Chains A and B, each alone.
Chain A
Amino acid sequence: MANYDINVNGRIHSVDVEPDTPLLWVLRDAIGLTGTKFGCGIAQCGACTVFLDGRPLRSCSLPVASIGTAQVTTIEGLSGREAEAVQRAWVTRDVPQCGYCQSGQVMSAVALLRKTPKPDDRDIDLAMNGNICRCATYVRIRAAIKDAAVTLGG
């Protein structure tokens, strides 16, 4: 075991874990932030998406030893106008079904809108195709992202 001080949602958490422990399990098991989900463990499904210094990354495949002083943002710490617009659109459109992948979907959508305020279908495909939804809520995810973009542009 080793000690790591990691910055999650603006707070330093001191955790005692093995260096190869993926950030996902540090968040979920050591810190207790369970909004970030386990779906595959091999960066294929996107359920574990968090921001590292603002960039969306798959926390299941990111060893804690590699985090250093980077700022981690999880769904629990998500804030700002893009986040509000996306989450409001998600609720207005009733996007979720089982809801398990949606933390990751929301994180990817917020990252997209921060970079590309007016995404077209191709932008949405590229930003979102790393996030699997087995319920296939994709029609509504696409519509909600466009709604959020309109809100932000308005």
Chain B
Amino acid sequence: MTAHDLKLSRRETLRGMAGLVIGVALPLPALAQSGAARAFQPGSGSAAFVPNAFVRVGADDTVTVLIKHIEFGQGPFTGLSTLVAEEMDADWSKVRAEHAPANAELYKNFAFGAQGTGGSTAMANSYEQMRKAGAAARAMLVQAAAQAWGVPASEITVEQGVLRHASGRQGRFGEFAEAASRLPVPADPPLKDPSRFRLIGRDRAVSRLDSAAKSNGTAQFTIDIREPEMLTVLVARPPRFGAKVASFDDKATRAVPGVVDVKPISSGVAVYANGFWPARKGREALRVTWDEAGAERRSSDQLIAEYRALARRPGVVASAHGDVEAALARAERVIEAEFVFPYLAHAPMEPLDGFLRWDGATAVARLGSQLQTGDHMTIAKILGLTPDKVELQTMLAGGSFGRRAQQTMHFAAELAGSAKAIGPGRPVKLVWTREDDIRGGYYRSLFVHRFRGGLRDGKVTAWASTSVGQSILGGSPFEAMIKNGIDPTSVEGANELPYAIADFRCDLHTTQVGVPVLWWRSVGHTHTGYAVECFVDELLQATGQDPVAGRLAMMSNAPRAAGVLRAVAQLAGWSGPGPVNGRARGVAVVESFDSFIAEIAEVSAERGGEPRVHKVWCAVDCGVPVNPDVIRAQMEGGIGFGLGHALFGEIALDEGRPVPANFDTYRSLRIHEMPEVEVTILPSTEKPTGVGEPGVPPIGPAVANAMARLGLGRPRQLPIVRGTA
């Protein structure tokens, strides 16, 4: 590509963006109600200067950053804006963030090749892109000022959104926004040397952009969308996965005041009403006969028994070195352990929901979309429109933990299907209730891991693991990621250890079960992290080694993992696992999504043998720590999320039917169960990596390893506290 082509494509980009920026393509009510526009008002003078697809500068000095990743708590609004503001030398109080529209070309995630958020990639794949976007904007503003003042651009300095020249002349970004917009866009603007960073890596240099709107009720989520003529839709879905509607009787439903219509759709029977309450009452009154011929009918206990039997046979090898069977045969002692993990629901606070307006020729969809490209294409296809006739606006979402990114795009399909069934001209808001959410599948897979460890001369000499569970990627658009029969999300964390063990094998049985499964905050590491870190701890205990020193002795090839382990030991003042005064300490270290986290949990035994977690120390190495306080918040939240599920989380199936239905039976961590958390962030010059997920995996095993020192044993089946919901 020549410089000319590049400039041209930039210009086209600009032209494409301008339409979106001024809201021509987006009908006004939608614009007014979009989370971005309402909660993060860009100011009256916006869009005077649009150097690229990510930055808009208003005549009122406002710098609006378009965020290609969904904000559902992990902080991309703040984090990606920090990158732009850093390179622009912008005034943070003038910085606003909004979701970018769905546009795979402009806003693809470089890790996916499509627009979407997941795998803790937001910062990693945006770091250079957003800095360059900011640097280009800065260069153009400087050039505009240089021309206006008749001075060389190189003599102009920028600080906090103010351009200055030694002659005494100065001006704000807004004053040069229009002039800058007429200049060519630099193709490859130089980036700051990290030594000159004022925001990146500086603790509390910026505050979150969304805190105020999320503390006073003004932040707009999908569930808050209201439009004239809009109908609320609830769908009756089958009680068992794989069942279908055989027939239904909607007489009682139609008699409910407020119910407007009832339609069969591919996922069940849709009830359309003026508001949530009549829709819910109408759905309750519906009588549906289900065709369960193809339904999954196994109970969790049955699946676990089948998986345990499979785990005794070698599976497809995911990775191996040395000769593990020979090494086990030579070992002085072989320790075996089997770990069982239940299905888990994500249960984000805002259940799945989406809005769609369709007039037969065009459509506007607004939802907390985590895979915008997939959702966009799915909606267009179902409505029989080309994608350019469908606008997709990403809304703030009340959590996800993976739930809003489905490999099947089932939610977008249900949204489009419910709009199509009632016909053009009736905007719909599809809402899942909490019961729909907890019983709706797309769970973290049920898994069994069987481990065998060989000990000789006081050392771990052999390690074999067999994992059994469903594949997330199989049969999905992501199937190409499956190599040699191994879904990497089933074995990640088990197929490569930070520990140097001469003879090693990790193999896998992939099971076929009719329960839809999905990535769940930290994916495979949710179960492999627990199993590996409990098992290594057990082996170290069996050889009389200290949990920290014993791990470090095997980590010669894992310097960054060893680094966080040393750091957390120092932070906690580690002097062995205890117990001391009834409190024991457990440790775990897990690398996930290229970030390294070690945690130490201090635990006592409550009456009845339940663990009480008092404090957690956490050390993080996520490369350049862009927003230290956001990283800290993600560690605190990840620890709470991981702890709640390790202690209480289980979706048991009874003859195929999920047993829990709501937070009364799917127990969530509450404030009195939340430990104190202390976080240390390691300085680094490595490229930044994610923090949304990696805080989760170490907490479960850290607690379990402390329990072992309290004489409670390392729980071999999760949740730790069973049957207490």
Contact = CB atoms under 8 A, between A and B. Distances in A.
Interface stretch (B108-116, B157-165, B204-212): B204-212
B214 A96 contact: yes
A99 B396 contact: yes
Interface in A66-115: 74-76, 78, 87, 90-92, 94-103, 106
Interface in B422-445: 433-435
A132 B434 CA distance: 13
Contacts of A98: 72-73, 214, 348-350, 396-400
Given A134-B349, A141-B671, A99 B641 contact: no
B633 interface: yes
A128 B398 contact: no
Nearest to A145: B671
A101 B350 CA distance: 8
B257 A39 contact: no
A31 to B, nearest CB: 11
Interface string A122-146: 0011001101111111111110000
Nearest to B400: A98
A51 interface: no
A94 B73 contact: no
Given A18-B258, A97-B637, A100-B399, A136 B674 contact: yes
B218 A94 contact: no
B211 A94 contact: yes
Interface of B: 72-75, 207-208, 210-221, 223-224, 226, 232, 257-258, 274-278, 281, 347-351, 396-401, 433-435, 629-630, 633, 636-641, 643-644, 662-664, 668-672, 674, 676-677
A40 interface: yes
Contacts of A106: 215-216
A137 B232 CA distance: 31
Contacts of A36: 217
A151 interface: no
A12 interface: no
A34 B224 contact: yes
A28 B399 CA distance: 20
Contacts of B662: 40-42, 44
A75 B349 contact: no
Interface majority SS (helix, strand, loop, mixed), chain B:
loop
B214 A38 contact: no
A94 B212 CA distance: 9
Contacts of A74: 217
A34 B207 CA distance: 25
Contact of B208 (A47, A76, A78, A94): A94
Contact of A44 (B221, B398, B663): B663
A76 B224 CA distance: 14
Nearest to B275: A29
A10 interface: no
A132 B349 CA distance: 8
Nearest to B211: A91
B276 A135 contact: no
Interface centre among A1, A98, A140 (most CB of B within 10 A): A98
B636 A139 contact: yes
A22 interface: yes
Interface majority SS (helix, strand, loop, mixed), chain A:
loop
A139 B399 CA distance: 18
26 contacts: A22-B277, A28-B276, A29-B277, A32-B226, A34-B224, A37-B398, A38-B351, A39-B434, A41-B435, A42-B662, A42-B663, A42-B664, A45-B434, A74-B217, A91-B207, A94-B208, A97-B637, A98-B72, A98-B397, A99-B215, A129-B672, A134-B349, A134-B401, A135-B399, A138-B640, A139-B640
B79 to A, nearest CB: 12
B363 to A, nearest CB: 23
A35 interface: yes
Contacts of B278: 18
A138 B674 contact: yes
Given A97-B75, A129-B672, 6 more contacts: A32-B226, A96-B215, A100-B348, A125-B671, A129-B670, A138-B671
> Interface size class for chain A?
35 or more
B671 A99 contact: no
Contact of A35 (B74, B216, B281): B216
Interface centre among B207, B275, B347 (most CB of A within 10 A): B275
Contacts of B433: 41
Contacts, number: 189
A99 B640 contact: no
A23 to B, nearest CB: 11
A135 B637 contact: yes
Contacts of B670: 129, 132, 138
Contacts of A134: 347-349, 399, 401, 641, 668
Contacts of A47: 349
B211 A132 contact: no
Contacts of A28: 224, 276
Contacts of B643: 136
A150 interface: no
Contacts of B633: 94, 97, 137, 140
A142 B677 CA distance: 12
Nearest to A136: B640
Nearest to A92: B207
Interface centre among B232, B349, B672, B674 (most CB of A within 10 A): B349
B275 A140 contact: no
A88 B220 CA distance: 20
A18 B220 CA distance: 27
A95 B208 CA distance: 9
Contacts of A20: 277
Given A37-B350, A75-B216, A133-B349, A97 B73 contact: yes
Contacts of A142: 671, 674
B216 A100 contact: no
Of all A-B residue pairs in the complex, the 4 with the closest CB atoms, nearest first, are A136-B640, A35-B217, A100-B398, A99-B214
Nearest to A124: B671
Nearest to A97: B73
B467 to A, nearest CB: 27
Contacts of A90: 211, 215
A47 B670 CA distance: 13
Nearest to B217: A35
A60 to B, nearest CB: 10
B73 A99 contact: yes
A47 to B, nearest CB: 6
B582 to A, nearest CB: 19
A143 B669 CA distance: 18
A102 B668 contact: no
A65 interface: no
Given A87-B215, A96-B215, A129-B672, A101 B349 contact: yes
Contacts of B397: 98, 100
Nearest to B640: A136
Nearest to B435: A41
B663 A96 contact: no
A91 B349 contact: no
A76 B666 CA distance: 31
A132 B641 CA distance: 11
Given A29-B277, A37-B349, A42-B664, A102 B215 contact: yes
Contacts of B630: 94
Contacts of B216: 35, 75, 78, 87, 106
A129 B175 CA distance: 51
Interface centre among B215, B219, B224, B348 (most CB of A within 10 A): B215
B43 to A, nearest CB: 20
